[in-house]
Amino acid sequence: MGRRRAPELYRAPFPLYALQVDPSTGLLIAAGGGGAAKTGIKNGVHFLQLERINGRLSASLLHSHDTETRATMNLALAGDILAAGQDAHCQLLRFQAHQQKGNKAEKAGSKEQGPRQRKGAAPAEKKCGAETQHEGLELRVENLQAVQTDFSSDPLQKVVCFNHDNTLLATGGTDGYVRVWKVPSLEKVLEFKAHEGEIEDLALGPDGKLVTVGRDLKASVWQKNQLVTQLHWQENGPTFSSTPYRYQACSESGTFLGLGTVTGSVAIYIAFSLQCLYYVREAHGIVVTDVAFLPEKGRGPELLGSHETALFSVAVDSRCQLHLLPSRRSVPVWLLLLLCVGLIVVTILLLQSAFPGFL
């Protein structure tokens, strides 16, 4: 038997580093690029329209947003606002998608706009405020505020996230500082040194606490800039060798954990037991740079169909792959209760026949 392969959902004209899925519109947002080097590789954010065609999930390019000389390395989504980490900066984007009305859709379809290019024509890169129309769906993307978020000698923003009500944005990078900004003005409200090395991940909690994970193998919980508690893995945990896992995602309900590895493999686990339900070895053949689950709300269930969950993965090979987990067979609760009652009745009858007068 040949090696198990995941279906390729989309191939971009540049390396892909970041991925988000908008639950309300069902848009898959993939970003990356070749950076500032003059290699001819473009930089951009691609908005893909997810659809079910003949019972299968497919993606088509709806809008290509040009980021000029800046490759997008990380993304965070809050409603219609996208926070993109580009080199040492954070760029806010606002996108709006809506259905066209009447003859407007027919006229737009005849003008070869957006991804509908004539043979041999180069795809049009959309600038700030550009608008793309595609089979009745209209998407407009505009640049909002941008701010420098990292100030090391080799500055790079490595992670970005919104708080629960999307009013604040937290960033972390190679200088080890956490910076918190108001949305959408990007006015800085907090700055403190969290780690001696690079910040690998962070999260803002609804109670105002902030969790950070650093390259120094420390995980810290902060109340503003005050340390609440800290885990130092080398002191509090077992020794370990280099782990192959690079990027991970958790499903909305917390049921599933998706993992991507430095060797290109992709896996889906049950979050509470870490039972492996799905694994494709070297699905990409090169480092997986981001993974994201299809949302369980909005258009998610409609796009998911009969499957239990869907995981998207992107890598430096410019490909976006789809990983579908088939629905697991389960016994209905009512049937289990009926079987239990039946076993109790049979047991009583056997005892009555073996020991007359038992009841």
pLDDT at residue 27 above 80? Answer: yes
What pLDDT sits at residue 248?
86
pLDDT at residue 134 above 50? Answer: yes
What pLDDT sits at residue 124?
38
Q: Which of 26-30, 123-127, 299-303 has the highest mean pLDDT?
A: 26-30
Sequence letter at residue 304: L
CA atoms of 291 and 36, how far apart (whole Å): 25
CA atoms of 323 and 8, how far apart (whole Å): 9
CA atoms of 12 and 19, how far apart (whole Å): 12
Chain segment 73-106, per-residue pLDDT in tens = 999 999 999 999 999 999 999 999 877 665 454 4
Higher per-residue pLDDT: 168 or 330: 168
Chain segment 295-322, per-residue pLDDT in tens = 999 999 999 988 999 999 999 999 999 9
What pLDDT sits at residue 116?
40
Mean pLDDT of 181-190: 97
Strand-pair category, 131-134 with 137-148: antiparallel
Give backbone dihedrals phi and psi of 238, rounded to 5 degrees, phi first.
-70, 155
Helix (H) or strand (E) holding 219: strand 218-223
Q: Quick one: what percent of the chain has pLDDT higher than 70?
A: 84
Structural tokens at position 42 = 């473009």
Alpha carbon of 321 to those of 4, 103, 287, 289: distances in Å? Answer: 13, 36, 13, 12
Helices (H) and strands (E) in the chain, counts: 4, 25
What pLDDT sits at residue 112?
37
**Could you tell me the pLDDT band of residue 16, with boundaries at 50, 70 and 90?**
very high
**Could you tell me the pLDDT band of residue 291, with boundaries at 50, 70 and 90?**
very high
Chain segment 249-270, per-residue pLDDT in tens = 999 999 999 999 999 999 999 9
Chain segment 46-69, per-residue pLDDT in tens = 999 999 999 899 999 999 999 999
What pLDDT sits at residue 132?
62
What pLDDT sits at residue 109?
43
Alpha carbon of 159 to those of 209, 330, 356: distances in Å? Answer: 17, 39, 74
Mean pLDDT of the chain: 86
Dump the DSSP string for 320-343. EEEEEEEPPP---HHHHHHHHHHH
Q: Quick one: what percent of the chain has pLDDT higher than 90?
A: 67
Structural tokens at position 146 = 């941008």
Mean pLDDT of 273-285: 93
Could you tell me the strand order of the sheet in which 8-11 lies? Answer: 8-11, 319-326, 307-315, 288-293
pLDDT at residue 237 above 80? Answer: no
pLDDT at residue 115 above 50? Answer: no
What pLDDT sits at residue 356?
77
What pLDDT sits at residue 136?
65
What pLDDT sits at residue 114?
41
Indicate the pTM of the whole model.
0.82
3-class secondary structure, 30: strand
What pLDDT sits at residue 151?
96
